[in-house]
Amino acid sequence: MPIELKQLQSKQFPTWCPGCGDYGIWMAIKQAMTQLDIPQENYVLVSGIGCGSKMPHWVRTFGLHTLHGRPAPVASGIKLANHKLTVIIIGGDGDSYGIGLGHFTHLMRRNYDLLYIVENNQVYGLTTGQTSPTSDEGYCSISTPHGVLETPINPISLSISAGATWVGRSFSGDIKHLTQMIMSGIQHKGTAFLDILQPCVTFNKKNTYQWYQERVHRLGEGEDHHKVTDKLAALKAAESWEKKINIGVYYEEKRPTYEEGLPQLKKGTLVEQSLEGIDVKSLLDRLK
Ligand SMILES: Cc1ncc(C[n+]2csc(CCOP(=O)(O)OP(=O)(O)O)c2C)c(N)n1
Ligand code: SF4
């Protein structure tokens, strides 16, 4: 039975600043869930720490609000215990491309069947607006009062190079596009990575709704004949930023998932398998 929007409302309401881009992401996640044929109890939302990482509190699914930068290993564990679950990781750009970058990169190459969403507002919102790994060069904040000197992380080319099998970008100011992208990401078999342009209206006065709106371009539309299976074209499209920011599916490939390769999971999920006959005594003895 399809899920109704009201079934996805938890007991609490979000506490984000009025106008925060996370509201659009919240709505798009819920709308995608109402349009997919997946039971509500199958979803697990796993987040790190940050403004956007509060999402699991406000969508009525199973969920875990973990540690800053650590949603990927927790989600991997969930996937290995019960690979039938629909796991969605959600975190900020600080969470995913800063402290959690190692986990992010390895997750991309493993290809578990899950969706990783990054709410990319180009700042550390929760801790009052410090510069993040995706802040634009020259960006001034309380942590870089004279402007950012480093080249920002490019999440699209990074994830493609690391081995992600579905890579997309969307904009929280375009809920219709975002809903479609979340649905496609969930339906993809393998690791889908979705970077979302998410205005932080309180601390990021450069990358505003208007700034993104003036630049977003839908891949594959009009004169653009982008082919999602063309890795080099995807990497080239990822280079565009200051004047034009491409949204849509950059890259897609078919590759066996990690779960499919594990002989232990051939008989079914780990949670469905019996522990009877498994001798754990020798293992426990070694820990004495
Ligand atoms: C191990 C650890 N280091 C630092 C922090 C402090 N901290 C909490 S949230 C955050 C950054 C949040 O930025 P981001 O992940 O981009 O999410 P946003 O708040 O912008 O949504 C930091 C540095 C923490 N909670 N744990
Ligand atoms: S500080 Fe920024 S990211 Fe955090 S809730 Fe407010 S607008 Fe959103």
Q: Which three-class secondary structure string do you get for 181-239?
A: HHHHHHHCCCEEEEEEECCCCCCCCCCCHHHHHCCEEECCCCCCCCCCCCHHHHHHHHH
Tell me what percent of the residues of the chain surpass a pLDDT of 70: 100
Find out whether the beta carbon of 22 lies less than 6 Å from any atom of ligand 1. Answer: no
Residue type, 66: T
Q: Whose CA is nearest to atom 2 of ligand 2?
A: 200
Q: Whose CA is nearest to atom 22 of ligand 1?
A: 127
pLDDT, tens digit (0-9, with 9 covering 90-100), for 66-113: 999 999 999 999 999 999 999 999 999 999 999 999 999 999 999 999
Q: Which residues pair with 124 in a beta bridge?
A: 130
Q: Whose CA is nearest to atom 1 of ligand 2?
A: 125
SS3 of residue 24 by DSSP:
helix
Q: What is the mean pLDDT of residues 219-244?
A: 96
pLDDT, tens digit (0-9, with 9 covering 90-100), for 178-200: 999 999 999 999 999 999 999 99
Residue 26 alpha carbon to ligand 1 centre in Å: 19
Residue 199 alpha carbon to ligand 2 centre in Å: 8
Which pLDDT score, from 0 to 100, does residue 116 have? Answer: 98
Q: Whose CA is nearest to atom 9 of ligand 1?
A: 50
**In-domain check, residue 231:** yes
CB 124 within 8 A of CB 130: yes
Burial class (CB in 10 A: 0-12, 13-18, 19+), 249: buried
Which pLDDT score, from 0 to 100, does residue 266 have? Answer: 94
Q: What is the mean pLDDT of residues 210-218?
A: 98
**In-domain check, residue 184:** yes
Mean pLDDT score of the chain: 97
CA atoms of 109 and 105, how far apart (whole Å): 7
Which pLDDT score, from 0 to 100, does residue 195 have? Answer: 99
Q: What is the mean pLDDT of residues 56-60?
A: 98
Q: What is the mean pLDDT of residues 235-250?
A: 98
CB-facing half-sphere around the CA of 22: CA atoms within 13 A = 28
pLDDT, tens digit (0-9, with 9 covering 90-100), for 8-50: 999 999 999 999 999 999 999 999 999 999 999 999 999 999 9
Residue 206 alpha carbon to ligand 2 centre in Å: 14
pLDDT band of 280, cuts 50, 70, 90: confident
Which ligand is in closest contact with the Cα of 201?
2
Residue type, 139: Y
Q: How many domains does the structure of the chain reveal?
A: 1
For the stretch 207-237, what's the b/e string if a residue is b when 16 or more beta carbons lie within 10 angstroms of its beta carbon? bbbeebeebbeebeeeeeebebeeeebbbeb
**In-domain check, residue 128:** yes
- For the entire predicted model, the pTM comes to 0.97
pLDDT band of 283, cuts 50, 70, 90: confident
Residues with CB under 6 A from ligand 2: 16-17, 20, 22, 51, 121, 125, 200-203
**In-domain check, residue 175:** yes
In ligand 1, the atom with minimum distance to the C-alpha of 121 is 20
Q: Which residue range forms the structural domain that includes residue 79?
A: 5-262
Tell me: pLDDT of 119 over 90.
yes
> For position 34, which CATH number holds?
3.40.50.970
**In-domain check, residue 136:** yes
Which ligand is in closest contact with the Cα of 93?
1
Tell me what percent of the residues of the chain surpass a pLDDT of 90: 94
**The two three-digit tokens of residue 247, written as one number:** 């949204």
Residue 267 alpha carbon to ligand 1 centre in Å: 40
